């Protein structure tokens, strides 16, 4: 009886070891984490190849919060995103590969923190917050609070702990596999924000100070001054005539007051107005921040990538209505957001910066 028990245990151990086979490619660095669906037993395109582990190191959360500390990944669910990774290059964008990443969403990592904004006495709303992710090399990436908690699709920015190639069925291209874990921002077109081995997450509020006047009437500014690193580069009094006008149908819904309207918004893409003032560089993609400010001091932070580098066509419109004498003449419509909080009206200034905030 004892011999049978020992034999049974040995069989179980051998079976378990085989299921965690070491892939013979890439110098045996990658462990198989899941069994691949190589026979197309399911309709899922994103389970057809081996999944490999990307070990996650210790990551701290700090900044303008009451409860800084180390992330406990054991309490977090795994999320999956799909990405076509592409980097900037002098001779055109360089495609790296298509992947499914599994890991831990910033949404979940930051969900239990208690905010303690430095500027809460002046401006209590949370839409001027952003998160800075830093890796072991000192590389930094900025992500707006709106990108994490306001989008129509949630949990799409993750700290990846697993990876699977999305292999084309005809060419069988085996895209290169990273050796370490990484930050993955799945809504970026050019994926320069996907930095390796993140070690620190810092919550910050944009430090620029403004006089805030709650309930200001009329909330009106006839122009927008656009700044690059605090130098004024353009003043606009209307939407430029040479830009294409877009019409976005929407269900306009607020976090506080609920439904506002079901009417469409018509305007020009904010990125088309700003493109001549900000270069498409790795530094700007990773660290660039726009601050959109209204006449009453209400303001919101958007990252460069959020405005200029989207892969989902959920663009941000700038709307100009010269006939509006209250809440005018400019306002934003961020089609990427579920809530209307960042649909800032009465805009009079837009700032861009990559300098350490």
Strands 32-34 and 51-53: antiparallel
Of 238, 233, 311, 247, which is closest to residue 275 (Cα–Cα)?
Answer: 233
Instruction: Decide if pLDDT at 12 tops 60.
Output: no
How far is residue 7's CA from residue 251's CA, in Å, rounded to a whole number?
64
pLDDT digits 0-9 by tens, 213-259? 999 999 999 999 999 999 999 999 998 889 999 999 999 998 888 89
Q: What is the pLDDT of residue 48?
A: 81
Checking if the pLDDT of 1 tops 70, the result is: no
Residues in a beta bridge with 282: none
Domains and CATH numbers, the chain: 23-205 (no CATH), 224-353 (3.90.420.10)
pLDDT in tens, 118-141: 999 999 999 999 999 999 999 999
CA dist 207 and 249 (Å) reads: 34
* Per-position b or e across 60-92, b if 16+ CB within 10 A of its CB: ebebbbeeeeebebeebeebbbebebbeeeeee
The predicted pLDDT at position 326 comes to 86
Ramachandran area for residue 26 (φ above 0: left; ψ -120 to 50: alpha; else beta)? left
Rounded distance between C-alpha atoms, residue 227 and residue 351, angstroms:
5
* pLDDT (0 to 100) of residue 357: 56
> What is the reported pTM?
0.88
13-36 pLDDT, tens digit each: 433 443 333 233 333 333 334 578
Read off the pLDDT of residues 178-198 as tens digits, 9 standing for 90 and up.
999 999 999 999 999 999 999
Percent of the chain surpassing pLDDT 90: 80
- 79 backbone dihedrals φ, ψ, rounded to 5°: -115, 155
User: Which residue has better confidence, 318 or 9?
Assistant: 318
Q: pLDDT tens, 273-315?
A: 999 999 999 999 999 999 999 999 999 999 999 999 999 999 9
pLDDT at 327: 87
Show the tokens assigned to 247.
């019409």
Q: What is the tens place of the pLDDT at every residue in 144-161? A: 999 999 999 999 999 999
| Residue 236 buriedness (CB in 10 A; 0-12 / 13-18 / 19+) | middle
* DSSP line for 24-68: SSGGG--BEEE---TT--SS-GGGSS-EEE------EEEESBSS-
> CA 288 to CA 260: how far, in whole Å?
31
Q: How many whole angstroms separate alpha carbon 165 and alpha carbon 104? A: 19
As a whole number, the mean pLDDT across the chain is 90
What is the per-residue pLDDT across 310-334, written as a single tens digit (0 to 9) for each?
Answer: 999 999 999 999 998 888 899 999 9
């Amino acid at each position: 009886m004892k011999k049978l028990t020992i034999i049974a245990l040995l069989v179980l151990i051998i079976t378990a070891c085989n299921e965690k086979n070491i892939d013979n490619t890439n110098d045996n660095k990658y462990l198989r984490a899941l069994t691949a669906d190589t026979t197309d037993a399911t309709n899922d395109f994103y389970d057809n190849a081996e999944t490999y582990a990307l070990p996650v190191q210790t990551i701290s959360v700090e900044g303008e919060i009451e409860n800084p500390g180390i992330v406990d990944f054991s309490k977090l669910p795994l999320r999956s995103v799909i990405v076509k990774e592409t980097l900037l290059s002098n001779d055109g964008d360089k495609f790296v590969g298509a992947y499914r990443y599994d890991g831990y969403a910033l949404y979940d990592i930051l969900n239990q923190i208690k905010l303690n904004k430095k500027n809460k006495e002046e401006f209590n709303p949370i839409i001027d917050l952003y998160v800075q992710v830093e890796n072991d090399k000192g590389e930094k990436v900025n992500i707006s609070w709106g990108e994490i908690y306001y989008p129509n699709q949630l949990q799409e920015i993750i700290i990846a702990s697993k990876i699977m190639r999305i292999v084309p069925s005809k060419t069988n291209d085996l895209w290169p596999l990273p050796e370490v874990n990484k930050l993955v921002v799945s809504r970026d077109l050019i994926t320069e924000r996907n930095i390796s081995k993140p070690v620190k997450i810092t919550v910050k509020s944009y430090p620029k100070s403004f006089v805030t006047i709650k309930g200001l009437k009329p909330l009106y500014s006839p122009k927008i001054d656009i700044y690059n690193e605090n130098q004024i580069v353009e003043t606009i009094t209307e939407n430029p005539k040479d830009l294409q006008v877009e019409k976005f149908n929407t269900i306009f819904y607020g976090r506080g007051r609920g439904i506002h309207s079901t009417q469409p918004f018509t305007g020009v893409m904010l990125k088309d107005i700003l493109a001549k003032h900000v270069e498409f560089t790795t530094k700007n993609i990773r660290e660039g921040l726009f601050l959109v400010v209204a006449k009453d001091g209400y303001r919101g932070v958007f990252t460069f990538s959020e405005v200029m580098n989207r892969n989902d066509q959920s663009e941000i419109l700038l709307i100009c209505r010269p006939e509006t004498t209250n809440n005018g003449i400019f306002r934003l419509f961020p089609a990427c957001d579920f809530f209307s909080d960042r649909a800032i009206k009465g805009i009079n200034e837009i700032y861009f910066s990559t300098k350490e905030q």
